[in-house]
């Protein structure tokens, strides 16, 4: 008899002799049987997911290996290129998002205010996108004005996310772009960011190091170690 949602043992790979000996009553559920990860099945999974899924999560759910997941993601990405839904990739994580081709109609449905950003927000977002991981004080040095409200607004709207903390004095938060940024600007990944204008790149370089030239994703951010008091740009 069922004891509640998800409580029933799932039929699949038999328990090992050692597991069976430790569980004579048969209360341990066997690992779930592998499910064929077709392109359609993967699309359905990503459609119902309430958050981006990592390749590891997908592999575990399907009972398959990472190579199979990567292959199906590649198939799905190609299959969705001319559709209203696209596959968005942020490091190891993936999700479905609306295509830029339908952006105007979607914006009209959800309301223009939901996608409109002020010039200050756009400037701050651009700095974070090209310099991530970056601290608020570094953003403020580049902009020349206090950016506390703008940072909080972008965080609230999920255009940027907290990636961790710098090891500089005070351990300030490090910020980077989130999935919402990719979705709203029609980017499949940070690889699609347009190259920086030479003058802008030079301006960013003057504020503590070179701007990001190779995209850096949240899952790929290294441990940041700096001398005490040294700011991360």
pLDDT at 96 over 60: yes
Residues 201-215: what's their mean pLDDT? 54
The answer to whether 144 and 226 have CB atoms below 8 angstroms apart is: no
Residue range 117-220 forms a domain whose CATH class is mainly alpha
Residue 23 confidence (pLDDT): 52
Domain residue ranges of the chain, discontinuous segments joined by +: 39-101, 117-220
Query: Which residue in the block uniquely carries the two structure tokens 């392109």?
Result: 39
The whole-angstrom separation of Cα 36 and Cα 30 is 18
Which residue has better confidence, 37 or 210? 37
The answer to whether 72 and 39 have CB atoms below 8 angstroms apart is: yes
Q: Considering the chain, what is the average pLDDT of its residues? A: 75
% of the chain surpassing 70 pLDDT: 71
Model confidence, pTM: 0.50
Residue 118 confidence (pLDDT): 83
Residues 30-80 have pLDDT tens digits of 557 899 999 999 999 999 887 889 999 999 999 999 999 999 999 999 999
Residue 101 confidence (pLDDT): 83
**Span 39-101: which CATH code?**
1.10.10.10
CA quadruple 217, 156, 50, 191: dihedral sign:
negative
- Is the fold of 39-101 the same as that of 117-220? yes
Q: For helices 55-62 and 66-79, what crossing angle results, to 10°?
A: 110
Query: Which residue in the block uniquely carries the two structure tokens 């069976």?
Result: 20
Residues 8-30 have pLDDT tens digits of 444 444 555 554 555 555 544 55
Residue 149 confidence (pLDDT): 87
Residue 213 confidence (pLDDT): 39
């Amino acid at each position: 008899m069922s004891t509640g949602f998800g409580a029933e043992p799932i039929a699949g790979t038999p328990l090992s002799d050692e597991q069976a000996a430790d569980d004579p009553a048969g209360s341990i559920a066997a690992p779930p049987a592998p499910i064929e990860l077709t392109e359609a099945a993967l699309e359905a999974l990503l459609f119902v997911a309430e958050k981006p899924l990592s390749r590891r999560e997908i592999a575990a759910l399907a009972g398959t290996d990472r190579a199979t997941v990567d292959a199906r993601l590649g198939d799905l990405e190609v299959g969705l290129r001319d559709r209203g839904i696209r596959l968005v990739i942020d490091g190891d994580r993936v999700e479905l998002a609306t295509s830029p081709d339908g952006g105007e109609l979607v914006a009209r449905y959800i309301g223009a205010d939901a996608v409109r950003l002020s010039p200050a927000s756009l400037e701050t977002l651009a700095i974070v996108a090209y310099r991530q991981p970056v601290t608020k004080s570094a953003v403020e040095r580049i902009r020349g004005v206090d950016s506390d409200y703008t940072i909080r607004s972008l965080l609230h709207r999920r255009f940027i996310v907290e990636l961790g903390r710098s090891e500089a004095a005070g351990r300030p938060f490090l910020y980077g772009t989130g999935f919402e940024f990719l979705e709203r600007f029609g980017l499949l990944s940070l690889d699609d960011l347009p190259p920086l204008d030479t003058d802008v790149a030079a301006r960013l370089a003057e504020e503590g190091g070179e701007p990001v030239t190779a995209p850096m994703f949240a899952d790929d951010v290294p441990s940041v170690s700096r001398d005490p008091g040294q700011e991360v740009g």
